[in-house]
Amino acid sequence: MRILSYEIKYGANEKKLRYTTPLDLTAKETYQTLDGGLVIGTRAAEIPGGIRLTVRLRTDDPLPLSMFSVAVEQEFSHDDRVFLNGYQSWSLSREAGAYERAPGLNPLFTPFIRMFRLKYYGDYFFAKYGGGRGQFHSYTYTYIRSPGGSISLAGSLTERAGYTVFRYDTPHSRLFIEKDCEGMTLEGDTLLLDIVLLDGTLPEVSERYFSMIKPRRDLPPVQTGWTSWYYHYEKIDEKIILDNLRAFAERKVPIDIFQIDDGYQKAVGDWLGTNEKFPRGMKPVADEIRKAGYRPGLWLAPFIAEEKSDIVRNRPEWIKTDRYGERIVAGHNPFNWSGNFYALDLCNPDVREYLRAVFDTVLNKWGFGIVKLDFLYAAALSPSCGRSRGQLMTESMEFIRECAGESWVLGCGMPLGPGFGYTDFCRIGSDVALSWQGEHYKILGIQTKLTLEHFRFRERVSIYNSLMSTIGRHMLNGREFMNDPDVFILRTPYQWLTPDEKKTLYLLNQIFGGLVFTSDNIGEYDPEQFAFYMKQFPFRPKEITSCEMDGGLLRTEFRIEKLEYAAFANMGDTPRTAGLDGHYAEGANLLESPQFTLAPHETRVFLRIPRGEYAVIGSDLHIFPGSETESVQAAPRGVTVRRAPSNRTSGVILLRAPNGKKSLRVNGKEYAVEATKFGGAVRVIVG
């Protein structure tokens, strides 16, 4: 990547001004005074593995800034891949071929798109969608992956002055690093741009880049749990919640969080009152959850209010308006809500005071220990108060943290960059649907094959869409927040997934997620489903060492402490073959250089058989064989294998026996040593 020049557009003395200036990085610092007294300073510094470029602006009189862009020269080969980070949590984020097309919403469906205000869920109403080959953009960070696997990353260290948009034009060998500064008024000193360009492997550049971003938060440990949304949706009541809670408590399932989603509140916006389905209010429910040993969680959408809410009816001045005085619509949901929902005006001190009271009530009076904050993008739909969208979003996230104190926040529907350092957990993909591609639409009463994929709606509810971002954004997990990949589904009723699809969603969420929930009523599971569900415990952090997509086939390698795994997922609709070199275990089956065919939407996980005496070389107690075991201790009187306390499954652990042993005493029982493909082993029966 070679930085060429910058371009700036602003207003001064009633004129629109525009400058383009070459950027000479051999000069460490440059200063230039432009018309209207605007001073622009650039600074380039070498950092380990790359460079850091900062751009500062200074003006005594307020000046409107309308555009800032840095042009970078970069040659793209046809085999290069480019990571495109979507606008907000739900927006598809994936690697694209350097010469692919990624056009905006499909104009064929304009009436529907208008009716449901789909534009406002994404960036379609303000971003540039060229639609030509190699014309696409990425928010806050991006990288180019060359065929050998080397990575060139470009990332912003702060979105405080506005979203940083990496806009590609690959046929013209260009990458433009732009600030979305619409609506921004400059005054005093502004750190406009602070970016790094880094080269290395994906784990290397991720580690360097994300560790430089400020503010930083100490992140919580990985979490498992339950949420009410993806089974009952808004049709929850106290009984449904407590029935589900009982199913976990009776079986002593060691989840961490039990979260109530949308459906308890009086209306979206009216958070201080519950509806008739929660006649005792929320405190008694939170208390029961705590009594069962779980952390109670509650869903809120603090920046919006729906049509029928008291806020919309009685506090019209709390709703943000555009320059024509029209209320700003954040979306339209006639299904579970009352139609339009509107953005609150966070510049209004009364709105802030109300939200402080809401957080105080939910966290301190009702006693919830984590809040899922949804539709956060609504804080920054339109520039206002002299601030760009990214500025508004960053300040809103700062406000959220102020309201929540040290309580855990799970961000959702959130532009990610501005939330870095403010949330503990964050949704990093779309909602899952109850089928692989989401709903097929009926048009004029006729069932079609059309899904929102045909609309090119990147925020669409779909398992495929969700998983693509779970894979694409995995590097954020444990660095900026703990990734929430959305729920997995193992149940039988009310879903339309094949067994392979259920397993893929389960395994990929467990590999790449830092907070993994389900909405299943585990009391409805048959014994086989329950056993499979229990094989997630203990849920341990993963270190992803490689992750590559090859035309719909995912191949990833990761570590759980010292154990090494490889997983393959066929995200495509036709069978794919794959293979591994070396010694692997799939469950308790030992395999030499396995070669296999993956059915559409199928995933398989393999443990690389570790070396050493008394190593666990296979196990069917856990979806990641071997990670159920905490320690193996060998003493003259026998071997002790200790499982993690949360692992309660039954099955076998394959333990390597040292050379020359005929039998081995393990956990007080004598086992014959069997000859396996890879030497002597004992088959320890557990449970």
**Residues that bind ligand 9PG in the complex, under the rule CB under 6 A:** 90, 121, 229, 261-262, 299, 374, 412-413, 431, 459, 461
In whole angstroms, give the CA distance from residue 667 to residue 244: 36
- Contact status, residue 612 vs residue 656, Cβ threshold 8 Å: yes
Residue closer to ligand 9PG (CB basis): 117 or 555: 117
Q: How far is the CB of 17 from ligand 9PG (least distance, A)?
A: 39
Q: How far is the CB of 427 from ligand 9PG (least distance, A)?
A: 6
- Contact status, residue 312 vs residue 306, Cβ threshold 8 Å: yes
Residue closer to ligand 9PG (CB basis): 376 or 681: 376
**Per-residue tokens: 219:** 């992140």
- Neighbouring CB atoms inside 10 A of 604's CB total 19
In whole angstroms, give the CA distance from residue 58 to residue 492: 62
Question: Nearest to residue 598, comparing CAs of 551, 633, 663, 630?
Answer: 551
**How do 442-443 and 446-447 pair as beta strands?**
antiparallel
Residue closer to ligand 9PG (CB basis): 176 or 441: 441
Residue closer to ligand 9PG (CB basis): 263 or 478: 263
The DSSP output letter for 594 is -
If you compute the radius of gyration of the chain from its CA atoms, what whole number of angstroms results? 27
Q: How far is the CB of 289 from ligand 9PG (least distance, A)?
A: 18
Instruction: Give the residues across from 549 on adjacent strands.
Output: 554
Query: Residue with CB nearest ligand 9PG?
Result: 262
Residue closer to ligand 9PG (CB basis): 256 or 431: 431
Q: How far is the CB of 517 from ligand 9PG (least distance, A)?
A: 10
Residue 247, H or E segment = helix 238-250
- Contact status, residue 525 vs residue 546, Cβ threshold 8 Å: no
Residue 112, H or E segment = helix 110-115
For residue 125, which amino acid is it?
F
Residue closer to ligand 9PG (CB basis): 424 or 459: 459
Contacts of 20 (CB under 8 A, 6+ apart): 5, 6, 7
**Per-residue tokens: 372:** 């899922």
Q: How far is CA 387 from the centre of its chain?
A: 26
Residue closer to ligand 9PG (CB basis): 83 or 90: 90
Residue closer to ligand 9PG (CB basis): 341 or 537: 341
Burial class (CB in 10 A: 0-12, 13-18, 19+), 8: buried
In whole angstroms, give the CA distance from residue 137 to residue 139: 7
In whole angstroms, give the CA distance from residue 463 to residue 650: 30
Q: How far is the CB of 461 from ligand 9PG (least distance, A)?
A: 6
Residue closer to ligand 9PG (CB basis): 134 or 438: 438
- Contact status, residue 55 vs residue 192, Cβ threshold 8 Å: yes
Question: Nearest to residue 6, comparing CAs of 47, 55, 50?
Answer: 55
Q: How far is the CB of 171 from ligand 9PG (least distance, A)?
A: 32
Residue closer to ligand 9PG (CB basis): 229 or 565: 229
Q: How far is the CB of 357 from ligand 9PG (least distance, A)?
A: 22
Q: How far is the CB of 540 from ligand 9PG (least distance, A)?
A: 25
**Per-residue tokens: 31:** 């200063």
Residue closer to ligand 9PG (CB basis): 227 or 391: 227
Q: How far is the CB of 196 from ligand 9PG (least distance, A)?
A: 31
Instruction: Give the residues across from 144 on adjacent strands.
Output: 82, 152
Strands (E) across 457-531 are located at 482-484, 515-518
Q: How far is the CB of 244 from ligand 9PG (least distance, A)?
A: 16
Q: How far is the CB of 469 from ligand 9PG (least distance, A)?
A: 12
Residue 449, H or E segment = none
Residue closer to ligand 9PG (CB basis): 210 or 278: 278
Q: How far is the CB of 337 from ligand 9PG (least distance, A)?
A: 8
